Structure 1
């Protein structure tokens, strides 16, 4: 069953990408999944969104390291190949790029994950912090071609304030 996000967000999918039910594509922990229209060598690039409340003092780099350790614990080989802090003091974020070697659907794959972590504070209670994670996963050969779609997608993500009054 897909999870829900701790805070509502809005975004626009890149042209051609299509939303899929997380359970149907093997991503039950995701709140949202979109897939690229052109598979590469039998693997379909995808964008997933998940998130959680993080009232603890963990920094975004620490949370990103937790994600790497979680992947490694699943038997996946992971190397962090890049990362940097983005955003501002009021809207901090972090990007992280991973080289992932994994068995997917019985086939060994060399994948690249571009991860973006966005910290969102509750306007009424700043102690309530949610961290939203946006992930692009693609084959190493397709990643350079879909990265600009993902970057455009990330630029559209914003809190959903609900219907205008």
Structure 2
């Protein structure tokens, strides 16, 4: 069963990407998933969305570290290829790119995962915040070809105030 996001968001999927069942992607806690229409060597690139309410004001780097450690529990090798802060003081974000080797679809694959962590502050309760994580997972060979589409997806993410179309 798909998870629920801590705050409603809206976004636009890149052209051609297909919504998928999050529980079919073996991704715990995922609220939304989509797959690329053209798999690479039998592996379809995916975009997933998950999130939560941290217990304390979160350090995005700590959340990113925890994600790396979770992946190390299931992948043969995980390396942080790049990590940088993004966003603004009002809407901080962190972007990281991971290289990993994991069994997917019954075969060992070299994958690349781009993760974007967005911190959404509650305007009614400034000390409260939610974190949304947007993730692109693709084969190493296909990652750079679909990265621009993922970046367009990230740019389309916005709070859903109930006045327009949501997810």
Q: Per the shorter chain, which TM-score range? A: over 0.9
CA distance in 2, matches of 1:89, 1:13: 27
Q: Who is 1:34 aligned against?
A: 34
CA distance in 2, matches of 1:163, 1:40: 38
Q: Who is 2:74 aligned against?
A: 74
Give CA deviations for 1:97-144 in whole Å, capped at 9, x if unaligned: 000100112210000000000000111112221000000000000001
Q: Who is 1:18 aligned against?
A: 18
TM-score, normalised on structure 1? 0.95
Give CA deviations for 1:27-77 in whole Å, capped at 9, x if unaligned: 342100000000000100000000000141331111100100111122441
Tell me, what secondary structure is at the counterpart of 1:155?
helix
Q: Is the 8 A contact 2:75 2:100 kept in 1?
A: no
Q: Which runs of 5+ in 2 are unaligned?
A: none
TM-score, normalised on structure 2? 0.94
Give CA deviations for 1:2-35 in whole Å, capped at 9, x if unaligned: 1000000000000000111212333342100000
1:44 correspondence with 2:44:
yes
CA distance in 1, matches of 2:93, 2:7: 16
Count of paired positions: 164
Q: Which runs of 5+ in 1 are unaligned?
A: none
Q: Who is 1:142 aligned against?
A: 142
Tell me, what secondary structure is at the counterpart of 2:141?
coil
CA distance in 2, matches of 1:82, 1:25: 25
Q: Who is 1:110 aligned against?
A: 110
1:123 correspondence with 2:123:
yes
